[in-house]
Structures are given as structure tokens and as C-alpha cells.
Amino acid sequence: MIVLKHRTDRAGLSIIEVLVVVSIVGLLLALVLPAVQAARESSRRTNCGNQLRQIGTGMLHFEQVNSRLPSGGEGADYSVNPPATVFELRSTFTHVVPYLEEAYLAAQINPAFAYNDAAWPDNQLAAKTVIPTFLCPSTAVRIDDPNGYGTTDYMPTVYTDIDPVTGTRNPLKRANGALQLGGTPVARIVDGLSRTIAIAEDAGRNWQVGPLATSPLPPDPVFSGGVGPVWNGSRAVTYAQWCAAHNLAPGGLPAGESPTPGAHRVINRWAEPASAGGISGQANSTAADLLPPINGNALPLGGPPGCPWTQLNCGPNEEIWSWHPHGANVLMCDGSVTLIGQQIDPPVLRKLVTAEERVPYDDREVPK
């Protein structure tokens, strides 16, 4: 009789062999993951650029209908020296939404009132609509507006005060960009449509309170009780004066909404005229040590002690800024989009922003 015996001493992997396998798997993951992340970011950056192209298409449709590019909503009053920053009641994005298949929103907006004035509730309904085209998918940290308003990761570049020689900020050297107050006929953009920035990424902006906060200086017309300035076409007046001149009764802050501390504007709302900005370079740059004017003061997150993002012209606070690792997308006035490398020389960036300075630049000066 034959008896079959089962073996119980099965061979297995030793601890050393397991450790070798784990090490190999870890090494492979370390090699593959950065490539996967880079591919994902490349896709997001492309998507971000495509959204800017959609905005550019809307901008050019606006120009066809109105024979001018839309106003930036923010601009300069050159009757004083140095020029003062002033604001209209509508943003570039408010002008463009009818041409982005969002005509129903435009029909709700009453341009005679500030977007957040309770006197016209439909303005709030429109401005609280989240429009995906205005949001770059690369944005790593997105904090919802506490009052529910829709936000944007893009900024019309309405002027620059980068000194053409030193590359640092010089308010006496301010010059207009393409989206000037009141709108600009394309014939005035003598520097060339394909060589002048209209809108750029500024994707790090957030509510004034909390981590990664950004805060501009101008008071909000409604938050400030009507004291905030409004450009009436020739000079700055208070919002209360604007309403009185147009026989309007302002309603003030909508019920349940909270203003920012100091009654400042909220610069990342798409309906906010201060979503536009002037390009100055990073505030802690000096002539001897110029910081990258694009994506500057990115680390640590929220800005260094010498230039926190709560300070104007630091990080994304009214400067070109993105979550892309090497630069930021910009929309040119002809509707084309390009990625500009963050190491661009500040005086060259000035040439790209100005619309009629008649100072040419060499394409080789613009890093990609």
C-alpha cells in the first residue's frame, strides 16, 4: 500500500527578499509618480489656457459688437500726480459674460448698481453664479467666498508702473494696458494685439481673512457705506454721490452677508471691478536683487515675512501668479494664449502690458 505524504515545509520569502521587493516597488513608484504628476499638471495647464482662449473669444465678440475692447473695471486717474487708481461699477468679466453663453446672467445685472448692493438683488444672484470658465483647474488651494460669490483665477492687466530702466515699482512711470477705463478701440493698441497682454492668471487670491488671505487697499463701495470711490467717466466720486447723481437709492449690504475687515474690496470675485490689477512686480524687489515678477514670493505658502500675500503687490496680490511650476498663462489682445516664464525681466514684462508705449521688445526676451 502506498501512502502519500503532504509536505508542510513550503518554501517562502525571507525577510531580506521581502525588503528587496518593497524597495524595488518603492523605487519604481518614485520614478513613475513625478512623471504622472507632471502629465496631470500639463493637462491642467492646457485646460487653463483653453479657458483663457474662451474668455478671449468672448472679449473679441464684445469688440465686434461695441467697436472697442471691454473696460478693465479698474484704471488710472492721470489728473493727479502720481496717478491714482480708480474703479468703475462693472468688471471685465461682467462685460464678457453675455458672449460666453451666459446671456441669462447679463440680463439679470443692472449696471447702475454695484454688484453687491442689496438695492438690486438680481445683481447678487448673477454674481454668485460659479462660472467654470473663470476657474483654472491647476489652482491647488481654493477657498470658497464666505458670502457665496463666484470667483475668478484670471486678472485683466489694466496698467503697469514697473520702471522701464530699474525694473522696480515707480508710480510716476505708470502706463495703461489694453483694457483701459471705458474700453479701448483696437486701433489704439499700437504696440500690437499679439504683443499686448489683456488678461493673465492670478490664481492665488482669496478672501481677506484666513490662511493665504489677500487684501487690496481700496474700500468697497457697499461695505464702506457708500464712501468707496467710483469713476464716473471723468473723475472719482463716492458711491453715494454716484447714486444721488443718477437718482438711485442704494440698498446697502445684503442681509446675511459679511464685509471684509476694513471694508476692503474682494479682489477674486469675477463681478468685482478690482479683479483687474496693475502690474508692479513684487514689492520687496530692489534694483540690485529683482525677484521674479511672475509667481514671485510663492514660498512659503502665504508669502515670506517681508512680503506676505496680505500686502499689495506681494505674491498673487495684484500680480501675475499661477500654480504652474515655471510660469503663467496670459491672454493676448488677439485672442491667443501663451505661457510666459516666471524669470522674465521686469522691464520686458512692462513692454508686454503697455498698449501704446511704442517700445518694441525682442521675442527672445520673453522666456517660455
Q: If you average pLDDT over residues 189-215, what whole number do you get?
A: 92
What does the alpha-carbon distance between residue 156 and residue 318 come to, in Å, rounded to a whole number? 10
Residues 6+ apart with CB under 8 A from 171: 82, 83, 161
Quote the mean pLDDT of the chain: 90
Q: If you average pLDDT over residues 239-267, what whole number do you get?
A: 94
Q: If you average pLDDT over residues 196-217, what whole number do you get?
A: 89
Q: If you average pLDDT over residues 35-39, what whole number do you get?
A: 55
Residue 213 backbone class (left: φ over 0; alpha: ψ -120 to 50; beta: rest): beta
Whether 264 shows a pLDDT value over 90: the answer reads: yes
Whether 327 shows a pLDDT value over 80: the answer reads: yes
SS3 82: coil
Give the pLDDT confidence of 78-87 residue by residue, as tens digits: 999 999 999 9
**Model confidence band, residue 316 (pLDDT cutoffs 50, 70, 90):** very high
Lowest mean pLDDT among 16-20, 108-112, 351-355: 16-20
Task: Give percent above pLDDT 70 in the chain.
Answer: 93
| Burial readout 188-211 (b: 16 or more C-beta within 10 A, e: otherwise) | ebebebebbbbbbbbbbbbbbeee
What does the alpha-carbon distance between residue 318 and residue 118 come to, in Å, rounded to a whole number? 27
Regarding pTM above 0.75, the answer is yes
Evaluate the CA torsion angle 61, 62, 68, 69 in order and state its sign: negative
Residue 234 backbone class (left: φ over 0; alpha: ψ -120 to 50; beta: rest): alpha
Q: If you average pLDDT over residues 39-59, what whole number do you get?
A: 86
**Model confidence band, residue 22 (pLDDT cutoffs 50, 70, 90):** confident
Lowest mean pLDDT among 154-163, 209-218, 269-278, 326-335: 209-218
C-alpha closest to that of 57 among 332, 329, 335, 336: 335
Give me the pLDDT at residue 136, please: 95
219: amino acid identity, one letter:
P
Q: If you average pLDDT over residues 298-314, what whole number do you get?
A: 93
Contact between residue 206 and residue 246 where contact means Cβ atoms under 8 Å apart: no
Whether 35 shows a pLDDT value over 70: the answer reads: no
Contact between residue 342 and residue 332 where contact means Cβ atoms under 8 Å apart: no
Residues 6+ apart with CB under 8 A from 328: 200, 201, 294, 295, 320, 321, 322, 339, 340, 342
What does the alpha-carbon distance between residue 109 and residue 122 come to, in Å, rounded to a whole number? 6
C-alpha cell at 39: 502629465
SS3 262: helix
Give me the pLDDT at residue 43, please: 73
Q: If you average pLDDT over residues 301-329, what whole number do you get?
A: 94
Give me the pLDDT at residue 100, please: 92
What does the alpha-carbon distance between residue 293 and residue 295 come to, in Å, rounded to a whole number? 7
Q: If you average pLDDT over residues 180-194, what whole number do you get?
A: 94
Whether 362 shows a pLDDT value over 70: the answer reads: yes
Give the pLDDT confidence of 2-11 residue by residue, as tens digits: 554 545 555 5
Give me the pLDDT at residue 189, please: 96
Contact between residue 175 and residue 354 where contact means Cβ atoms under 8 Å apart: yes
What does the alpha-carbon distance between residue 88 and residue 42 come to, in Å, rounded to a whole number? 36
